[in-house]
Amino acid sequence: MGAIYILWLRELKRYVRSRVQVVVSLGQPCLYLLALGFGLGPVFQKAGLGSYLQFMAPGVIGMTVLFSSVFSGIAMLWDRQFGFLKETLVAPVSRMQIMIGRTLGGATVAVLQGTLILIICLIAGFRPHSWMAIPVAFLFVVLIAIVFAALGTAIGSTIKDMQGFQLVMNFMVMPIFFLSGALYPLANLGVVLRVITRLDPLTYGVDGLRGALINQWHFHPAVNAGLLATIALVFLSLGAYLFSKIEV
C-alpha cells in the first residue's frame, strides 16, 4: 500500500507543479463551451430542447476527464525514456501495486481537471437541477477517470515511443468522445449509431453525469454505474497484465 500511495502522490505532485498543463488543458473544453454551447444554443432552443449549454456541459466535463485520464499514460513513456520506470520496476514492490498507484494518480488528476471545468461551466451559466446531486455526479466522474486512466496505462505499457502513443490516442479518444452522446441526444438515433454508442464506455459516464446534474437520464443510473464499474475492473485487469509484461 505504501508503494501505491507514493506513486499516487508523485502523479499528483507532477500535475500541481505543471502550471502550464493546468492552463492549457482547460483550453479545449472552454472552446467547446463557447463555440458550441453558445453558438448552437439558439438552434437547440428552437428545436424545443431547452438550453444547449445545460445539455452539453456534462458532456464537456466527461470529455475533460476522458482526455486527462487517457493521456496520463504519456507519463509512463517519459518515465521509460528517462529511466525512472526502470528504477521503479526493479524496486522490491509488486508490479500490480505500481500499476494501481499510477492509475489512481492519473485518475485523481482527471477528477481535478473535471472539477475545474465544472466550476467554469457554473461561471458560464450552467446550473444543476439540484446542488444535492453534485456528489452523485462526482461518483460518475471518478468512475470515468478510473476506466480511462486504466486504459491509458494499458496502452502506455505496450507502446514505446511518443509518436505511436499519440497516433493511437487520436484514433481512439476522439471517436470515444464524439460517439458518447456528449454533444447530442441519444434518443432517435439510427440503428448503427445506436449500437455504436452503446459500445462506447463514455456513453454511460456522460449519461450518468447528465442525469445527475440536469435530471435527464437515457439509461437507468444503476446500469450506468454498474457498467462503468465492470469496465473499470476489465481495464484494470488488462492494464495489470500488460504492465507485468514490460521488460526492464
Average of per-residue pLDDT across 180-200: 88
Of the pLDDT bands very low, low, confident and very high (cuts 50, 70, 90), residue 209 is very high
Query: Regarding predicted confidence, which is higher, 196 or 94?
Result: 196
Domain that holds residue 61: 2-244
pLDDT, tens digit, 9 for 90 and up, residues 35-89? 776 666 666 666 556 778 888 889 999 999 998 888 877 777 777 766 666 666 6
Within 10 A of 226 (CB to CB), how many other CB atoms are there? 12
pLDDT score, position 21: 62
By percentage, how much of the chain surpasses pLDDT 90? 23
pLDDT score, position 61: 92
Average of per-residue pLDDT across 161-185: 81
221 has pLDDT over 90: yes
pLDDT score, position 130: 87
pLDDT score, position 17: 57
Number of domains the chain contains: 1
What pTM was computed for the model? 0.87
pLDDT score, position 93: 67
Average of per-residue pLDDT across 228-241: 89
Query: Regarding predicted confidence, which is higher, 216 or 85?
Result: 216
pLDDT score, position 109: 84
pLDDT score, position 147: 93
pLDDT, tens digit, 9 for 90 and up, residues 89-135? 666 667 777 777 778 888 888 888 889 889 988 888 888 988 888 89
What integer best gives the mean pLDDT of the chain? 80
3-state SS of 15-70 is HHHCHHHHHHCCHHHHHHHHHHHHCCHHHHHHCCCCCHHHHHHHHHHHHHHHHHHH
